[in-house]
Structure 1
Amino acid sequence: MLTLMTPGSGAVKPLNPETHKAWTRSIAEAGCLVEPWRCDVASGTFVLGARTLLLLGLRQNPCGIIDLLRAYDKGDRPTILSILEQATASSSSFCFSTTVRGSRGQISPLYCIGNSTLSEHGAEGLLEGVFALPGAGRH
C-alpha cells in the first residue's frame, strides 16, 4: 500500500502544480500502472483509460459520475463524492483512494490524483488527472 493514502481517504487543496507532482511522483515510484482521465464539468462525463475502464467493470466511455461511484467501495463513496464536489466548487488539486472489485471478484486498490480548473462562474471547466493501479506495472 502506498504511503500516499489508505482506502477511503483523500485530500483537496487549492490548485497547486507542486502538490499534484508530489502525489504523482509517489505513485510512479511505487511502480503503479498510471492512466490519464478527464471530465468535462459542464456535461459531467468522464473519459477513462482502457485498463481503468476494465478494472471498474464499465463498458461505456465516456461514463458518468454515478457509474464511477458504483464501482468504488460503498463505504468510500461519501468521501469521494465530497472531494469531487469540492473540486468542482473551486480550482483544486485533489486525491483519493478506494478499493474496487475486479471482473474476477478480486479486490484491488485504486488511487486517483487530479486537478480541477474551472471558469470564473464554475459551471464550465475541466477535471483531469490519473488513476493509478498498484501492482499493475508501469505504463
Structure 2
Amino acid sequence: MLTFITPGWGAIKPLHLETHKSWTRSLTKAGYLVEPWRCDLASGAFIVGLRTLALLGARQNPCGIVDLVRAYDRSDRPTILNILEQASATPSSFCFSTIIRGSRGRSSRLYCIGNSTLSEHREQGCLRGIFAVPRQREKICA
C-alpha cells in the first residue's frame, strides 16, 4: 500500500508538472493499474478508461461527476468535491484517495492524480490525470 495518499486524504497545490509526475511515478513504480482520464470544464463531461469506468459502475463514456462520485466512500466525497472545485477555479496539481464500492459489493482503493489548465477567461479548460487501482486485492478495513 502506498503511504503518500491515505483514503479520505487529498492535496491541491499550484500547478507544477513535476509534482504531478512525481506522484504518478510513485503509483507506476508500485505496480498499480493506471488509466488516464480527462474532464472538459465547459461541458463537465469526464472521459475515463474502460477499466475504471467498469470499476466505478458507470454505464457510459463520457460520464458526469455524479457517475464517478457515487462509487466513492460517502465520508470522502466532500473532500474530493472540494479539491475538484478548487482545481476548476485555478491551475492546480491535485491528488486524492478513496475507497470505492463496486456494483458487486467489492471494495477497492482508488487513487486520483491530476492537474487543471484554464484559459485566460476561465470559461474553457480541462482537468486531466490518472486513476490508479491496485493490481492485486488489498485488505480493506472499512
TM-score of the two chains, using structure 2 as the length reference: 0.93
Q: Distance in 1 between matches of 2:122 and 2:96?
A: 22
Please name the residue that 1:120 is paired with: 120
- Quote the offset at 1:66 in angstroms: 1.3
Name 1:54's counterpart in structure 2: 54
| Structure 1 segment 30-49 matched on structure 2, within 5 A | 30-49=30-49
Q: Deviations over 1:57-93 (max 9, x none)?
A: 0111100011111111111000000000000010000
Tell me which residue corresponds to 2:86. 86
2:69 is equivalent to residue 69 of structure 1: yes
Deviations 1:23-69 (A, max 9, x none): 00110111000000000000000000000000000111100011111
Flag as ranges the 4+ runs of structure 1 deviating above 3 A.
Answer: none
Identity across matched positions, percent: 71
Moved more, 97-106 or 83-92: 97-106
How well do the aligned residues superpose, as a CA RMSD in angstroms?
A: 1.2
Hey, what does 2:23 align to over in structure 1?
23
Deviations 1:116-136 (A, max 9, x none): 000112121011000001125
Tell me the equivalent position of 2:134.
134
Alpha-carbon distance in 2 for matches of 1:54, 1:2:
23
Count of residues in Structure 1 that have an aligned counterpart in Structure 2: 137
- Supply the AA of the counterpart residue of 2:117: T
Separation (CA, whole Å) in 2 of partners of 1:15 and 1:134:
26
Q: Give 5+ residue unaligned stretches, structure 2.
A: 137-142
